[in-house]
């Protein structure tokens, strides 16, 4: 099947080259038949790439160890679902998936535009064909992008899927993020075709809008799912670490957010035409840059791939493409002059402009931080990002709340008492109530400058968040009143619901703002986050089963919580079907610690946290090589805060430098069948051990996940054609 997959990729490359030649000839010679042939071959590429993708999925499901990618990313013991989804767990498989999505979106947009006759459409076809051809080129000529490399002779065993990826959020997070990355090629090529041909009438971005919202929505949803995965799987008590791969997805999302807002100004006021073109060029190339960061291996992160041979051609393609379109943009600058000038900086259009400025500056700052190891040899960590990111976020909340309340062309002073005053009063009162709440409910450490600043930022975030929420409520109320005055017979809630469906761009956008405010309020709880590390002493207790059981009576206190250790079990977990038999390839060793937790001396919860050790198998010999540890935190969540615990390293009772190899000792003990030898190996386990436990109290985290869910639902409402007038 490797040959069939390789033939598909070679065919794709040939088809795309033919499409590029035909479309180019048709454009220069104004030959409609050549253009039509180029369009048909570009659409046919989707079927070829789809067949290649199906071949790889079938190989993964069958554990075809003659395929190098399968041997590196799957195994016979992996559950079927994980086998199928491992198609995007490695570099070459994920690039094939990238290519599949691109060809699929290309097919859709070519079908949508099949009846349109203007000079822009063939240029859009040509741009899409060039991008797709580049990815097929990588898959043929660069080993790290080849999903159908032969493994001769066939591997003895598969190495399996990275244990960190065996989580529900990580299974759906990458494809959702890829959809956001890849689909931005469509609005970009539509805009680029208008730029190249000089046909810059306003109708180009009306077609772009829905595709841009589609890309922005999937990018945002993918980022939030990645945060959920990090919180539940990595065991470090957080959800955002400013990791290079996280930042790689955040940067195009910020730029696309800026573009969606500045499009409104171009539609309403005829301004920012040059700026909008620059934004969409930047957004797409930052999508490509994010793909490069993840797959080049130049920058490391918990979910980036190893160093790769595709890094150089990829960054060259990004650079050539960016400067080519930037040059055309500069050449067309005279056709992109604004129709009007900004009349008041505190007007609605002024607030949108400030919003754009902040988002772009934030993107460039993140870019500087991402490449700091290459530029200065020093990696900028989370404190550096937070030092400017938190104030920038607070300013964005202010603009998010103020912009809907401001008027076009008029300064804030002219409408202050009619639209701004009531939400502002609500924000001040809300900030005061929040101060009273956190002083009574959250533990505050001994003050330092950082603690005081954190509290100030937290109060500002919540106060401005309530200001924004009050403004949204006011806008909805005024809209409902106006609708009920114009349309008789609707009650208050009917009018509000129908108003939302009829004007989703405005009122659906307010719901997105509301979701972001709720999320930011959750982030404000970080000012009162607590963390400590505790050591518990355990003693070995006899067990007639194949589990090792250690017990402890130690307790620890953090804030209102008393954490009492009870048992620590070392036990086997079967990865796959137990009926297939147990061996060193499919047995995971689990260190499972149970704790009884009290809150204010009252029984609160029983929490179980693990460290799991997955076997790493040699694909050449099939023998066990080493263990890959993963974290399985326990999270007890309330509306106020999360208690988050994670079992750490296990040490000798004398705290000597070298930790005992309990997973290796346990496997040796577990697979021994002779009772006498098994008993002797049991006696080799240490009678006393010390287990480390990391404990976090994370206030207001529920708001983050509530805001994330609302972002998904409100974005989906805007995206789907629900309630729209059929034309």
Residue 525, pLDDT > 70, answer yes
Whole-angstrom distance, CA of residue 650 vs CA of residue 613: 13
Among 258, 253, 246, CA closest to 369: 246
Eight-class DSSP state of 165: G
Among 390, 315, 326, 406, CA closest to 358: 390
Start-to-end CA span in the chain (Å): 47
Whole-angstrom distance, CA of residue 590 vs CA of residue 60: 27
Q: How confident is the model at residue 727 (pLDDT cuts 50, 70, 90)?
A: very low
pTM above 0.85, yes or no: yes
pLDDT in tens, 367-406: 999 998 888 888 899 999 999 999 999 999 999 999 999 8
Whole-angstrom distance, CA of residue 508 vs CA of residue 209: 15
Residue bearing the bigger pLDDT, 74 or 536: 536
353-371 as b/e: b if 16+ CB within 10 A: bbbbebbbebbebbeebbe
**Tokens encoding 399:** 């603009």
Residue 460: other Cβ atoms inside 10 A: 20
185-196 mean pLDDT? 93
CB of 231 closer than 8 Å to CB of 340: no
Whole-angstrom distance, CA of residue 379 vs CA of residue 381: 6
Residue 175, pLDDT > 50, answer yes
Residue 577, pLDDT > 90, answer no
- The length of the chain in residues reads 727
- Count of CA atoms in the C-beta half-sphere (13 A) of 540: 16
Residue 445, pLDDT > 70, answer no
CB of 255 closer than 8 Å to CB of 187: no
CB of 614 closer than 8 Å to CB of 574: no
Among 218, 138, 121, CA closest to 718: 218
Whole-angstrom distance, CA of residue 348 vs CA of residue 413: 12
Residue 726, pLDDT > 70, answer no
CB of 106 closer than 8 Å to CB of 45: yes
519-548 mean pLDDT? 93
Interaxial angle between packed helices 382-402 and 509-524, expressed in degrees from 0 to 180 and rounded to the nearest 10 = 140
Among 316, 315, 318, 338, CA closest to 188: 318
User: Which neighbouring-strand residues pair with 537?
Assistant: 690
């Amino acid at each position: 099947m490797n040959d069939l997959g390789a033939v598909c990729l070679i065919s794709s490359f040939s088809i795309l080259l033919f499409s590029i030649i035909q479309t180019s000839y048709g454009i220069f010679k104004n030959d409609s038949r050549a253009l039509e042939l180029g369009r048909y071959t570009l659409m046919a590429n989707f079927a070829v790439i789809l067949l290649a993708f199906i071949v790889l999925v079938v190989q993964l499901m069958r554990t075809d160890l003659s395929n190098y990618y399968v041997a590196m990313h799957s195994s016979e013991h992996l559950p079927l679902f994980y086998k199928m989804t491992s198609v995007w767990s490695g570099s070459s498989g994920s690039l094939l998936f990238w290519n599949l999505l691109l060809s699929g979106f290309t097919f859709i947009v070519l079908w949508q535009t099949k009846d349109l006759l203007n000079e822009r459409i063939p240029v859009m076809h040509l741009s899409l064909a060039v991008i797709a051809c580049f990815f097929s080129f990588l898959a043929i000529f660069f080993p790290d992008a080849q999903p159908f490399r032969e493994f001769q002779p066939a591997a003895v065993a598969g190495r399996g899927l990275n244990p960190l990826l065996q989580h529900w959020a990580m299974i759906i997070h990458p494809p959702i993020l890829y959809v956001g990355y890849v689909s931005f090629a469509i609005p970009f090529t539509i805009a680029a075709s208008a730029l190249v041909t000089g046909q810059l009438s306003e109708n180009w971005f009306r077609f772009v809008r829905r595709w841009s919202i589609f890309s922005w929505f999937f990018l945002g949803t993918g980022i939030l799912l990645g945060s959920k995965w990090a919180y539940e799987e990595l065991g470090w008590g957080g959800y955002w670490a400013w990791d290079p791969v996280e930042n790689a997805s955040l940067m195009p999302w910020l730029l696309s957010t800026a573009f969606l807002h500045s499009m409104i100004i171009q539609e309403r006021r005829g301004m920012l035409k040059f700026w909008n073109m620059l934004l969409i060029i930047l957004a797409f190339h930052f999508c490509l840059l994010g793909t490069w960061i993840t797959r080049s291996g130049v920058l490391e992160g918990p979910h980036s791939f190893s160093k790769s041979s595709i890094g150089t051609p990829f960054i060259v393609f990004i650079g050539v493409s960016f400067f080519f379109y930037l040059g055309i943009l500069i050449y067309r600058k005279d056709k992109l002059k604004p129709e009007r000038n900004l009349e008041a900086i505190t007007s609605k259009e002024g607030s949108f402009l400030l919003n754009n400025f902040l988002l772009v500056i934030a993107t460039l700052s993140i870019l500087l931080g991402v490449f700091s190891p290459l530029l200065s040899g020093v990696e900028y960590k989370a404190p550096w990002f937070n030092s400017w990111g938190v104030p920038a976020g607070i300013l964005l909340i202010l603009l998010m709340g103020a912009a809907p309340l401001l008027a076009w062309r008029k300064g804030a002073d002219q409408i202050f008492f009619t639209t701004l005053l009531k939400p502002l009063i609500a924000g001040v009162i809300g900030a005061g109530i929040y101060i009273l709440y956190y002083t009574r409910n959250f533990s505050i450490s001994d003050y330092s400058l950082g603690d005081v600043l954190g509290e100030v930022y937290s109060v500002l975030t919540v106060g401005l968040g309530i200001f924004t929420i009050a403004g949204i409520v006011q806008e909805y109320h005024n809209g409902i009143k106006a609708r009920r005055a114009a349309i008789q017979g609707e009650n208050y809630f009917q009018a509000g619901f129908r108003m939302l469906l009829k004007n989703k761009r405005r009122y659906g956008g307010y719901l997105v703002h509301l979701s972001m405010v709720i999320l930011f309020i959750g982030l404000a709880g970080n000012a009162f986050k607590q963390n400590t590390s505790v050591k518990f002493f355990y003693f070995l207790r006899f067990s007639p089963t194949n589990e090792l059981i250690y017990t402890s009576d130690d307790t620890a206190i953090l804030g209102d919580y008393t954490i009492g250790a009870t048992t620590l079990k070392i036990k086997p977990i079967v990865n796959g079907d137990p009926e297939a038999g147990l061996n060193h390839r499919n047995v995971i060793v689990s260190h499972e610690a149970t704790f009884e937790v009290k809150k204010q001396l009252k029984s609160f919860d029983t929490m179980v946290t693990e460290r799991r050790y997955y076997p790493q198998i040699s694909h050449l010999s099939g023998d066990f090589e080493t263990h890959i540890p993963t974290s399985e935190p326990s999270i007890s969540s309330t509306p106020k805060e999360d208690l988050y615990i994670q079992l750490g390293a296990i040490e000798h009772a004398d705290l000597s430098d070298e930790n005992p190899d309990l997973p290796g000792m346990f496997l040796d003990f577990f697979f021994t069948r002779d009772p006498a030898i098994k008993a002797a190996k049991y006696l080799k386990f240490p009678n006393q051990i010390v287990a480390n436990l990391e404990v976090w109290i994370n206030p207001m985290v529920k708001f983050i996940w509530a805001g994330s869910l609302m972002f998904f639902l409100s974005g989906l409402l805007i995206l789907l054609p629900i309630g729209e007038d059929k034309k």
